[in-house]
Amino acid sequence: MLFNSLPFIFVFLPAVIFGFYLLRRFHLFRFSLTWLALASLLFYAWWSPQYLALLLGSISVNFLIGKRVALSFHKKAWLVAGVIGNLSAIAVYKYLGFFATTVSQLTNTEISVPDLILPLAISFFTFQQIAYLVDTYRSGQPEYEFVRYLLFVSFFPQLIAGPIVQHKEVAGQLSRLAIRSIRVEQINFGVCLFVIGLAKKVILADQLAPYATPVFNAADGGTSPTFLEAWGGLLAYSFQLYFDFSGYADMAVGLAKMFGIELPRNFNSPYKSTNIIEFWRRWHITLSNFLRNYLYIPLGGSREGSRSFNLLATMLLGGFWHGAGWNFIIWGGLHGVYLVANHQWRYLHAKVFATFPSNYVNVSGSGASIQNNTACLDDTENITSQGLSPKRRLLKTISGVTGVIFTFLLVSLAWIFFRAESLNGAVAMLRGVFGLHGLALPSEIYNMAPQLFSTFSDVVPNSNLGSFPHIKGFAVILVAAVLAFLAPNSTEISHWLMTRPDRTVNSRRHLILTTSCMTLLGIVFSICLKILVFAPDSEFLYFNF
């Protein structure tokens, strides 16, 4: 059952909301949490009924171990046992085949392993519980009520693809839900976010998929994509993944708000980042926090002489977390190299600008603690515009735009390894992106000046893949790019729509604007429903991790 499926929108969600608020209407607050937990288990069983026992077993064991970690005299031993147990489960189901294949290739021997189906969301609920055990060890405060812990892990908006939630972020909220009412504004905000996220998925991400999938599939199949084909497929996938995952994150946060629960924000316009460090503050924020708190800092963090190694190790393991394959490891390694290079550039940048007078430029925070930032980002740089001449402001703006474009290109090139099913397919895409497979033009353009184009041996008419060069495809990519780079994000839009005017604001004007926007939101929702009626359901990309 997908968030963007008609059964979810018109059957499951209304039934869960009705039961939840009916129980609360009769002051059965604790039963309302039980109802929500049971609904979450049903949501998971709809996907993978055969692995419901695995989910419940994992939750039950970690709940008991959490108490031991907090109350036993052998806290560290219980913590180690719990972490090893969780990692063992994910290693068997997700990585056993990869390890067996790798060993077989290295030793030239055949190793047979059971053919296991990857349990849905095992990466998310396993790492979330590892974080819970570590936090419990540090604080000595476990969760004592099983229903609350069950809901903390299995809450259906965030169960399948995050955000990765820390227990301290929701424990107090679940306690308050048992005694307090839920504000109407919070529910309205949730509905608004859900609709925006649905539009990202249905109107944008799903419309980009037909231009990305054929190109990557052809590359994996041995075809050599030409320059425009490779760039068309790559850009289509870059924006498809962006709107697919950010759309899911918006829907997850919006659904949680409908039940009075605030989930952490997982996206903050990452393609507007001016460098890779900033990108990882904005992309999959809860994963960045997890990598920082439970991997990067324990490895040594930003200790002098070890930061580069710790960054590389963290990002390599972060890539491996996404999938059992060398492509994911390469993707993580590329981002590790990006981050190391970005930190070295910042260090040199700070050294250079330290020679300028303070009235020209202000560089601050270069030694900030990692505790104040997201994963792998252990310093901040804030160059203000105060005291700068118009010429320097213009140069700073140009520098920012250049940084956004350069960062996006680096991220997109790394997405090739994230998306390609094989290493050969990724290499073929890279060669196409750099023009090593020639250039194919649409016949309409080629026939305008065949004699001119025929003088270039690498320029040929027609497309081998049937998707690019394609005017409509590039038009869809352009629309997606404008929205990703220039439009306000969903949280900013929702806050503006839900903010009540104060006495200093023209309330009539605000009412007209708000009514217009809500009407537009209703039209967008209607368009999404129309698309869903006539188009088959599509899986969220991050459900595979």
Point out the residues that are catalytic: 322
CA distance 179 to 29: 7
On whether the CB atoms of residues 32 and 24 are closer than 8 A, the answer is: yes
**CA-wise closest residue to 134 among 372, 295, 317, 265:** 295
List C-alpha distances in Å: 227 to 305, 407, 446: 41, 20, 15
- Which residues have C-beta within 8 Å of that of residue 442, sequence separation ≥ 6? 461, 462, 463, 469, 470, 471
CA distance 354 to 399: 18
List C-alpha distances in Å: 196 to 11, 48, 159: 20, 28, 20
List C-alpha distances in Å: 283 to 200, 274, 278: 16, 13, 9
On whether the CB atoms of residues 214 and 429 are closer than 8 A, the answer is: no
Structure tokens at 225: 């994509």
- Which residues have C-beta within 8 Å of that of residue 80, sequence separation ≥ 6? none
Q: Rounded to 5 degrees, what are φ and ψ at 461? A: -80, 165
CA distance 433 to 425: 12
List C-alpha distances in Å: 481 to 214, 238, 470, 504: 20, 10, 17, 36
CA distance 34 to 18: 14
With tokens 């965030």, the residue in question is: 158
Instruction: Please state the three-class secondary structure of 186-244 as a single string.
Output: HHHHHHHHHHHHHHHHHHHHHHHHHHHHHHHHHHHCCCCCCHHHHHHHHHHHHHHHHHH
Q: Rounded to 5 degrees, what are φ and ψ at 382? A: -125, 105
Count of alpha carbons within 13 Å of 440, Cβ hemisphere only? 21
List C-alpha distances in Å: 194 to 121, 152, 163, 213, 519: 21, 21, 15, 26, 15
CA distance 324 to 52: 23
